[in-house]
Each structure stands twice: as C-alpha cells, then as structure tokens.
Amino acid sequence: EILTALQKEISTDEDSPVPVLLCGDFNSNLETGVFEYLSKGFVSADHPDWTRNASGDIKLDLAHNLHFGSATPDDTVPYTNFVHEFEGVLDHIFFDRRKFSKSSVVPMPSREVVTEHVALPSICAPSDHLALVVDLDWKS
C-alpha cells in the first residue's frame, strides 16, 4: 500500500521534485522477493518466495516504477543482523536513483568485534541489528 500511494503522489518524470528514501528493517535478505521487488522494480510470479507462503497458491507478477537503488546490493555490507544462528543483511536503504547516487557505505564492525560476546545484542551493540549508514550525493 505504501508503494502504491508513493506512485500516485510522485511523478515518474525525471523532473519530479520529490526524492524518495525508503529505509528500515525489512526482515528480507538480498535473495528475497521483497528485496528484488524494491531494488529492481519487479518480482515475477515464479520467484521462490511465492511458494513459501502458507497456502502456496499466491503467485503474482508485481511491479513498480519508483526507480529505487539499494545501498546494500554488494559485499560492502556483509550483515546488519548477527544472532546465534543467523547472519545477514535484513536492513536496507532504498533511494531514488534519479535524484541520488551512493558515494560510500560506513563499514560494519568486524566479525571479531561482533562475535566477541557471542552475537548481538551485546555489550558493544545494544540491538540485534547494526546501523546501516550510507552517504548519498544529490544528482544535479
């Protein structure tokens, strides 16, 4: 519903004055349909996530035209969540590629630091998620 509302309010025109940043804990790693949908603008009906739902009968082609780029589609961020039996990127920053470019990502703490107290949360990090911080440049 949020993306539908954004698409109604924001012109897909290059000259649209409204840049969009969508940030949060999506509980979705880089291989999920959620990440594919937001970062690529499309997820197909044959994506494996559709078969993971309880009934198994929901299969949709979904698309949007919001031109999102992702701050985390590469190995510069190995994890934003690190708990006893899981580590991965669950937190994301999506940005309007027409208005912003990614210039840098603040590195995550090393594996040694994160595992010093077994996992997160810990004395060093009070949450089971690490802050994802990215520098974005305005495009002229």
Q: What is the 3-state secondary structure (H, E, C) of 65-132?
A: CCCEEECCCCCCCCCCEEECCEEECCEEEEEECCCEEEEEECCCCCHHHHHCCCCCCCCCCCCCECCC
The pLDDT score that the predictor gives to residue 11 is: 58
| Enzyme catalytic residues | 25
Residue 102: per-residue pLDDT:
92
The predicted pLDDT at position 13 comes to 60
> What pLDDT, on a 0 to 100 scale, did the predictor assign at position 6?
72
**CB burial string 118-136: b at 16+ within 10 A, e below:** ebbebeebeebbbebebeb
CB of 71 within 8 A of CB of 132? yes
- Write down the pLDDT at residue 77: 85
| Cα maximum dimension of the chain | 49
Prediction pTM value: 0.84
Q: Over its length of 140 residues, how does the chain's per-residue pLDDT go in tens digits? A: 777 777 776 655 666 677 889 999 999 998 999 999 999 999 999 998 888 766 667 788 999 888 899 988 677 788 899 998 899 999 999 999 989 999 998 888 888 988 888 889 998 889 999 999 999 999 87
The two structure tokens encoding residue 81? 């969540």
